[in-house]
Structure 1
Amino acid sequence: MKKYSLLATGLLLLSHSLATPLAHAAEVDVDNLVQEAERASYYSGNDGRSDARMMIVDKQGRKQLRQFTILRRDVSENGDQQMMVFFSRPSDVKDTVFRVEKHVDVNVDDDRWLYLPALDLVKRISAGDKRTSFVGSHFYYEDVSGRAISEDTFVLQSDEADAYVLKATPKAPDTVEFAYYVVRINKTTKLPMEINFFKTNGDNYRRVEAVKIEDIQGHPTVVRSKVSDLQTGGYTLMEFRNITYDLGLDDDVFSERSLRNPPQQWLN
């Protein structure tokens, strides 16, 4: 079975609309809908490049900035993927590199590594750490590399004028911090628009949303996204620039060697 993630940066802004009768729910193929959302969110072009800037704001309003370049390559159509994230600013994270080998086989965990230049250390990110902070931000490692839909049970909550609303419940609740999440998927683009995470007591404690969407080479693309900690008021805003698809990136770009020797031709 394949993995399909709804958790990362493929998100659209929440639409305010009236729901149509839920009788239409029986006509919606939820499994197919989730797969379409995965393709729209993560498989634009055969590969891609983007410069990104992340602003982290804590509960006291203090700000931190992160600047980096993301490279992504599809190993196979709608299948395994490779990803590299090269940090350039500020100085305390400069030359840090995040590497991902994403596997669609649900029985195989995604491989994630973090290169720490100050220690000249390659740290493997274990499966148990995938829902922890990504370089001090409100994004999780799993938000970046993806979550398998086979880990959750999806139910259609409502069929609105321009969006489907799904509720996802984890099959192994002891392995995650949420009881369930609710995701809104745009009917036209099939992009997830907003994801709200809930605790067992029903508290909505975390939100992933889109702030701005643009058409890039014919692909609806998120150029600004936001993750909010609804308990503390802290949040992280991520902006993407210089987005390009179908560059013809080679497999060597995503090798272990690139952790210490980044492919400069794709970073400038």
Structure 2
Amino acid sequence: MKSLLTLITASLFSLQAMAITADEVVDKANLASFYAGDDGRSQARMIIVDAQGRKQTRQFSLLRRTLEKGGDQQMLVFFSRPSDVRGTVFRVEKKVDSDDDRWLYLPGLDLLKRISAGDKRTSFVGSHFFYEDVSGRNLKEDNFTLVEESDSHYLIDAKPKDPASVEFSSYRVWVDKTNWLPSKVEYLDKQGELYRQVETVQIDTIQGHPTVMRSRISDLASGGYTLMEFRGVQYDLGLPESIFSERSMRQPPVKYLR
């Protein structure tokens, strides 16, 4: 009996030791969401729907290059449609140890505009996505707690370390155990009310990487939403670091956008 109790106790301690932590879940979800392959290219369309059901569209090409897995990245977004945003370029130098550097090029004015850290949670070219949604939020800005584990998902609760820097009080993330991609994110406002929701609509496996092909962000206060759709996704193209530059914002690297 003593030996049996010892074995049971040892097994329990072993299970506890193997239990995954909230930070481990978040790290895996971050890698799956933003770091598939060494680099990547895709075409995308945003369908923006307001509370009255009126629709706008935005089409763009996206180039992304990873400098270090889970670390710094470079990103370029080239808008092609409609005519009022054609030629607009969004560039990101993503950094894990400091604020990201973000720029927006407006061709009509030949203006290169730096996006301040305080503006990262504002509308991305009129959509319900924020600038921060496109490149990903820095994991060091939040504290994470593993709230629940089911057969299919981990539920993570996140609270900002600097509450005054954001419009939300917390957010919850459901991470799919099969692919480590977030299937849903819910944001709570300062009063603890749900006001914003991100949903993964479609996932395809491309070159061995589970990839979000359709997602939807809803503004639950206004009733509007934006649907993001991707196509032509490719990974590991060998994109050179030199194209992720200010020069490419004015002279797009057409060779790598096809």
TM-score (norm 2): 0.92
Q: How far apart, CA to CA, are the structure 1 residues paired with 2:187 and 2:250?
A: 36
Cα RMSD, aligned residues only: 1.5
Confirm whether residue 32 of structure 1 aligns to residue 24 of structure 2: yes
Confirm whether residue 213 of structure 1 aligns to residue 233 of structure 2: no
Match of 1:18 in 2: none
Match of 2:138 in 1: 148
Q: How far apart, CA to CA, are the structure 1 residues paired with 2:140 and 2:232?
A: 33
SS at structure 2 position matched to 1:92:
coil
Runs of 4+ in 1 over 2 A off after TM superposition: 23-28
Q: How does 1:39-188 map to 2 (within 5 A)?
A: 39-105=31-97, 108-188=98-178
User: How far did 1:26 drift?
Assistant: 9.2
Q: Is 148-157 or 210-219 further displaced after alignment?
A: 148-157
User: How far did 1:28 drift?
Assistant: 2.5
User: How far did 1:25 drift?
Assistant: 11
| Matched residue count | 244
Match of 2:7 in 1: none
Higher gyration radius (CA): 2
What is the aligned counterpart of 1:202 among 167, 192, 198?
Answer: 192
Q: CA, structure 1 residues 239+24, in 2 after alignment: closer, same or farther (shift >3 Å)?
A: farther
Q: How far apart, CA to CA, are the structure 1 residues paired with 2:128 and 2:54?
A: 14
Q: Is the 8 A contact 1:47 1:245 kept in 2?
A: yes
CA offsets, 1:71-114, max 9 Å, x none?
A: 00011233210000000000000000000000121xx2100000
Confirm whether residue 243 of structure 1 aligns to residue 233 of structure 2: yes
AA matched with 1:253: I
SS at structure 1 position matched to 2:178:
coil
Residue ranges of structure 1 left out of the alignment (5+ in a row): 1-22
User: How far did 1:201 drift?
Assistant: 2.1
Match of 2:245 in 1: 255
Residue ranges of structure 2 left out of the alignment (5+ in a row): 1-14
Match of 2:256 in 1: 266
Q: How far apart, CA to CA, are the structure 1 residues paired with 2:78 and 2:188?
A: 32
Q: Is the 8 A contact 1:99 1:114 kept in 2?
A: yes
CA offsets, 1:191-250, max 9 Å, x none?
A: 111100001322110001111000000000000011000111100001000000000000
Q: How far apart, CA to CA, are the structure 1 residues paired with 2:221 and 2:24?
A: 34
SS at structure 2 position matched to 1:31:
helix
